Structure 1
Amino acid sequence: MKRDLSISIKSFDDLSIIELYQILQLRSEVFVVEQDCVYQDIDGKDQKAIHIIAKKNGQIVGYTRCFPAGYYFKEASIGRVVVKESERKFGYGHVIMEASEKAILENFKTNNIKLSAQQYLIKFYQSHGYEPVGEGYLEDGIPHIAMVKS
């Protein structure tokens, strides 16, 4: 793991108010503002997820939320994969993905994972062993494709 990055795994109830605020701020900053996509990020599903949080100097710079098999897909799933734009050059996306996969194995006892990838990130997810399945589709106006790892 990168020395300047700390990873924590928390249930929704274990998140502090400040952490929740920073998570929602980061997701909004990237998914709504940077990607110019108007959609309902606060979807009522965070309460059911485990939250993988990457902090640098006390600030959240990376994040995912993970669900058990049967919640989103028949496989466990990783979603809302995000790294602050100014921090992407440090490889934190790879760190947060590895931590998410480890959290799924430890919490949900499976390596079978499915995610809905933005198509421009296919190579990134392939570097973690995911393969595209099916046809691409639009999700909130952005081209996506399902990818699985088993």
Structure 2
Amino acid sequence: MSGNSKNKISKLKQVRTRLAIYQTGRSPFWFVRLWDPVAKKHVRKSTKETSRIEATEAAIEFADAYKKNVDPSLAAVKDRSFESYARKLDAFNKAKGGNERSYSDGHKILFREGDGLISYFGKYDVAKITSGEMRD
């Protein structure tokens, strides 16, 4: 492959931390690139602007709107997630020994694919889980 691809980023401008606009050789429009810490990936979208200044303003608006739509009950740090504490509890129960059937039942309740506790509460911050959510 040659090094002159039209998909290659030709212009890149950092707007904020984890927010940038860029342009490729294939399009006259600027694109926005925003880092999503929950999904751990970049979100890319066209600004539909040909001017760098207008694209910067559109990128800031997009970033503010995107952050507003993020669920506040999700854990920002993986150590605060329900899944992290559930895995610690499972390891503690396994190390404690005792009745193997009791450990097996608790493990199944946590890790069952369709309706286990981790499949529902896995990404939630443990401090933000309410009794109402537990009842639901």
Determine which structure has the larger helix proportion and give its number.
2
Flag the structure with higher strand content: 1
TM over 0.5: no
For normalisation by structure 2, the TM-score amounts to: 0.25
TM-score calculated relative to the size of structure 1: 0.24
| Rg comparison, structure with higher value | 2
